[in-house]
Amino acid sequence: MKEIVVQKSWNDNLAASLATFCKYYNIKISKSSIYKSFNDSEKMQDFVRIQDFANTYAFEYSSGFFDKSNFKSLVFPILALVKGYRTVIIIDFTDTNITYLDSLTGKNTESLDEFISYATGHYFYLNPNSSYLKEVNFEKLTKLENELESKRNWVSPKIIELTPESLMTDFNIRV
């Protein structure tokens, strides 16, 4: 796992979690660009803002509630809300343990029962494989290809104007 984006104040937990989520998928969206998208940090303190983030950056998303009985049916990673209005990213799950990333405490593994005891049950699933991100990656690839193309030493071909006279002289065609 790449480094976890650390929160620096009580209200940047969500932005730090979203930036960490982006790093998880090698998407270059920084915490500061997330703040800029929402004009100020105060707007990024609410878990509901994940939907705003998803709409802004064209992620597909779904949300819901989890408990011990439906945990196996979830697709990971997911963003989950825990007590204290902190957002964590659940990255792995077994029958007894859960592993998550927290912008305050780092990577943690604990028992599922312990996690469920202080989690609110709200989760958000984000799918970064939207057509928008594919288009952005395609544009980056096209730009790179164009840069490489411009650096090649191309010899420009001789342009021949095709007229009846040029056909006769250049290609030795007799009528």
CATH number of the domain encompassing residue 37: 3.90.70.10
Query: How many residues are recorded in the chain?
Result: 175
The answer to the question of residue 165 being in a domain is no
Residues 14, 103: Cα–Cα separation, whole Å: 9
Of the candidates 57, 73, 81, the one whose C-alpha atom is nearest the C-alpha of residue 133 is 57
pTM: 0.69
The answer to the question of residue 66 being in a domain is yes
| Domain ranges, residue 109 | 10-136
Structure confidence at residue 97 (pLDDT): 93
The answer to the question of residue 158 being in a domain is no
Q: What is residue 46's DSSP assignment?
A: S
Residue tagged 């490489």 (tokens): 148
List the pLDDT tens digit at each of the 175 positions of the chain.
568 888 887 778 888 898 999 888 888 888 888 877 765 555 555 777 788 888 878 788 888 998 888 888 888 899 999 988 888 999 998 889 999 999 988 999 999 999 999 999 899 998 886 555 555 555 655 565 566 566 555 555 555 566 666 666 655 555 5
Structure confidence at residue 150 (pLDDT): 64
The answer to the question of residue 172 being in a domain is no
The answer to the question of residue 175 being in a domain is no
Structure confidence at residue 133 (pLDDT): 56
- Cα-based distances in Å from 119 to 59, 161, 175: 24, 76, 89
What are residue 123's DSSP bridge partners? 64, 80
The answer to the question of residue 101 being in a domain is yes
Number of domains within the chain: 1
